[in-house]
Amino acid sequence: MFKGRHFDRSVILLRVRWYLAYSLSLRDLKEMMAERGTSVDHTTIYRWTVHYAPLLFEQFYRRKRLVTGRWHVDETYIKIRGRWMYLYRAIDSNGNTVEFCFSERRNLIAAKRFLRKALKRHGRPERIVIDGSQTNREAILACDAESRLQDGSRRNPKPIRIRQSAYLNNRIEQDHRAIKCRVRPMLGFKSMASARAIRDCIEMIHMMRKGQAKYACRSQRSLAEQFDLLAL
């Protein structure tokens, strides 16, 4: 993964982790490295992040723990190329991240795309909690019907129960904050490709802090230890 790089693996991983995990700008990291006697341009740190983020996320996803059958679904917004984009997210009843997906629009098509992705990766939940969004309700009903039709087994799966409550969905709205607080110092993303790569690893860091990696749920490994394990 690090073959041919000018800098040591530990240097690259540390800077990428700091950028993803903490409210630091690229220029903040450049200054911090200069204080430690290492001269690296802020664009180099950005390229490291964009290059390694998808690889690290892929390794993490293979080791991610299963989620529960009760989900909370909502969307928030993030700026990309000067435009506001929608970030669909889902967490389970324990607050663990289920799935997330970017969309240029907030409509039925986008909601269906997100739910199909979540159902394909995690299976059918028993219940989904949403706010008062009628669009999300229609998307759940449509995707649930598709899922039951595609189920090749003889069993007859129960329909997904939908609970609409702004109060009960405060849990995911609070969970959005961790992502938005980290994205804010970045002053928006410059492209959709880099936004997806960095967003995945910001979500990954958030999941590590929740203990969603299989190797972290009992051993209580630190964030740094969990991060380094992905690059072994």
Domains of the chain: 70-190 (3.30.420.10)
Dihedral angle over CA of 176, 140, 64, 205, nearest 10: -10
Strand partners, 83: 80
Q: What does the DSSP 8-state code read for residue 6?
A: S
What pTM does this model have? 0.88
Estimate the crossing angle of helix 9-21 against helix 26-35, to 10 degrees.
Answer: 140
Residues 161-190: tens digit of each pLDDT = 999 988 888 889 899 988 888 887 776 677
Q: Of 12-21, 29-38, 86-95, 190-199, where does mean pLDDT reach its minimum? A: 190-199
Cβ proximity of 23 and 185 under 8 Å: yes
Question: Which residues lie below 8 Å from residue 69, measured CB to CB, with a gap of 6+?
Answer: 92, 124, 125, 126, 127
For residue 100, the model assigns a pLDDT of: 94
Cβ proximity of 50 and 78 under 8 Å: no
The predicted model gives 92-111 an average pLDDT of: 93
Residues 104-130: tens digit of each pLDDT = 889 999 999 999 999 999 999 999 999
pLDDT over 90 (residue 206): yes
Average pLDDT for the chain? 88
Q: What does the DSSP 8-state code read for residue 93?
A: T
One-letter amino acid for residue 68 of the chain: T
Residue with tokens 């889902």: 90
The predicted model gives 189-206 an average pLDDT of: 86
Helix (H) or strand (E) holding 47, with range, is: helix 42-62
Residue with tokens 């630190």: 222
